[in-house]
Structure 1
Amino acid sequence: MGRSWIAAGKFLLLDYTELAVSFSFFFFFGWFARLFRRGRRDRMPLNWPVVGMLPGALLNLHRVHDWAVKLHRRVGYTFWFRGPWFLGMDYLCTADPANVHHIFGLNFSNYPKGSEFAEIFDILGDGIFNSDGEAWKAQRSRAHAVVSSRPFRAFVADSIRDKVAADLLPLAAGFAERGAVLDLQDFFLRLTFDATCTFVFGVDPRCLSAGFPTVPFARAIDDAMGAIFLRHAAPRAWWKLMKRLNVGEEKKLAAAREEIDRFINQTLTEKRIDKGSMNLAEKADLLSSYIINSNINEGDGGDSDDWTSTKFLRDTALNFMLAGRDTTGTAITWFFWMLSENPEVESKILEELKELRRSSDDDDDDDDLVVFDAEEVGKLVYLHAALCETLRLYPSVPFEHKSALRDDVLPSGHKVAAGTKVLLSAYTLGRLEGVWGEDSAEFRPERWISEKGKVKHEPTYKFLSFNSGARTCLGKEVAFVQMKTVAAAMVYNFQVQVVEGAAAGQPKLSIILQMKGGLPVKLKRRTMN
Structure 2
Amino acid sequence: MPTKWPLLGMLPALLKNSHRIHDYATEFLSECGGTFEFKGPWFCNMDMLVTSDPANIHHIFSKKFSNYPKGPEFKKIFEILGDGIVNADCELWELHRRTNISFLSHVKFQNLLETIVWDKVERGLFPVLDYFSEHGTDVDLQDIFQRFAFDNICKLVLDYDPSSLCYDLPNIPSEKAFNDAMEALFNRHVLPESIWKLQKWLRIGKEKKLIEAWKAFDELIYPRILLKEEKYKDDDDDDDDFNFLKIFGKAYEEKNGSWSTNSRNLLRDASLNFMLAGRDTTSTCLTWFFWLIASNPVVEVKIRDEIETRLHLKEDKKWRFFNVEESRKLVYLHGALCESLRLFPPVPIEHKTSTHPDILPSGQYIRENTKVIFSFYSVGRMEKVWGEDCLEFKPDRWISERGGIIHEPSYKFPAFNAGPRTCLGKETSFFQMKLVSASIIYHYNVQLLKGHQVSPRDSIILQAKHGLRIRLSRRNEV
Amino acid of the residue matched to residue 292 of structure 2? M
* Cα pair 1:404 1:421 within 8 Å, conserved: yes
Q: Distance in 1 between matches of 2:32 and 2:467?
A: 33
The corresponding residue for 2:151 is 194
Q: Which amino acid aligns with 1:324?
A: G
TM-score by length of 1: 0.86
Task: Find the partner of 1:336 among 281, 285, 290.
Answer: 290
TM-score (structure 2 length as normaliser): 0.95
Greater length-normalized contact order (CA 8 Å, ≥ 6 residues apart): 2
Is residue 302 from structure 1 mapped to residue 236 from structure 2 by the alignment?
no
Residue 445 of structure 1 is matched in structure 2 by 395
User: Is it true that 1:320 corresponds to 2:274 in the alignment?
Assistant: yes
Give how far 1:91 is off.
1.3
The aligned residue for residue 405 of structure 2 is 455
1:223–1:515 Cα change, 3 Å: closer
Q: What SS does structure 1 have at the residue aligned with 2:108?
A: helix
**Identity fraction in percent:** 47
- The reply on whether 1:66 has 2:20 as its aligned counterpart is no
Amino acid at match of 2:272: L
The residue correspondences of 1:382-401 to structure 2 (distance < 5 A) are 382-401=332-351
- Kindly state the Cα deviation for residue 375 of structure 1 after the two structures are TM-superposed: 3.3
Structure 2: segments with no counterpart, 5+ residues: none
**Structure 1 position 439, deviation (Å):** 1.1
Contact 2:351 2:372 in 1 (8 A): yes
Deviation (angstroms), 1:277 = 4.1
Higher mean displacement: 272-281 or 258-267: 272-281
Could you report, residue by residue, the CA deviation over 1:239-275 in whole angstroms, capped at 9, with x for unpaired residues?
1122223333333322332232222111011112222
What's the Cα RMSD here? 2.0
Moved more, 90-99 or 129-138: 129-138
Q: What CA deviation, in whole Å up to 9, does each residue of 1:351-380 have, x standing for no partner?
A: 00111243787442xxxx655433332210
Write the mapping of 1:210-229 to structure 2, written as runs, cut at 5 A: 210-229=167-186
> CA 1:471–1:413 in structure 2 vs 1: closer, same or farther (change >3 Å)?
same
Deviation at 1:204, TM superposition (A): 0.8
Whole-Å separation in 2 of the counterparts to 1:279 and 1:526: 50
Moved more, 182-191 or 64-73: 64-73
Is 1:135 paired with 2:92? Answer: yes
Partner amino acid for 1:105? Answer: S
Report what 1:478 is aligned to: 428
Query: By how many angstroms is 1:278 displaced?
Result: 6.9
Residue 521 (1) aligns with residue 475 (2) = no
Q: Cα gap change, 1:46/1:280 in structure 2, threshold over 3 Å: closer, same or farther?
A: farther
8 Å CA contact 1:431, 1:440 repeated in 2: yes
**1:429, distance to aligned residue in structure 2 (A):** 0.3
Distance in 1, matches of 2:236 and 2:431, equals 26
Q: Distance in 2 between the 1:455 and 1:92 partners?
A: 34
CA deviation profile, 1:364-405 (whole Å, cap 9, x unmatched) = 2xxxx6554333322100001100010000000001111111
Native 8 Å contact 1:353 1:488 kept in 2: yes
Residue 311 of structure 1 deviates from its aligned partner by 1.1
After superposition, give the CA deviation of every residue in 1:137-195 in whole Å (9 maximum; x if it has no partner).
22211111112222122211221111001110121111111111011111111111111
Matches within 5 A, 1:229-268: 229-268=186-225
2-side partners of 1:188 and 1:249: how far apart? 24
Unpaired segments of 5 or more residues in structure 1?
1-43, 304-308
- Report if the CA contact (8 A) 1:202-1:283 is conserved: no
Equivalent residue, structure 2, for 1:28: none
- 2:371 corresponds in structure 1 to 421
The aligned amino acid for 1:481 is F
Q: 1:70 to 1:247 in 2, by over 3 A?
A: closer
Mapped contact 1:370–1:492 kept (Cα < 8 A): no
Aligned counterpart, 2:66: 109
Corresponding residue for residue 52 of structure 1 = 9
1:348 paired residue number:
302
Confirm or deny that 1:291 pairs with 2:240. Answer: no
**Deviations for 1:480-506, whole angstroms, at most 9, x for unmatched residues?**
1110110010000001100112112x1
TM-superposed deviation, 1:229? 2.0
Q: 2-side partners of 1:266 and 1:477: how far apart?
A: 30
Q: Which residue of structure 2 aligns with residue 120 of structure 1? A: 77
Partner Cα separation in structure 1 for residue 180 and residue 13 of structure 2: 28
Shift of 1:281: 6.9
The structure-2 alpha-carbon separation of the partners of 1:338 and 1:352, relative to structure 1 and needing over 3 Å to count, comes to same
Q: How many residues align?
A: 476
Q: Which moved more, 1:391-400 or 1:49-58?
A: 49-58
Residue 62 of structure 1 and its aligned partner are, at CA, apart by 2.2
**Residue 128 (structure 2) pairs with residue 179 (structure 1):** no
**Which stretch shows the higher mean deviation, 227-236 or 242-251?**
242-251
Whether the aligned pair in 1 keeps the contact of 2:253 and 2:259 (CA below 8 Å) is: no
1:323-357 C-alpha deviation (Å, 9 max, x unpaired)? 22111101000000010111111110000011124
> 1:77-129: CA deviations, max 9, x gaps?
11111111120111111111110000000001111111011011111111111
Cα distance in structure 1, aligned partners of 2:291 and 2:465: 12
Q: Which moved more, 1:487-496 or 1:283-292?
A: 283-292
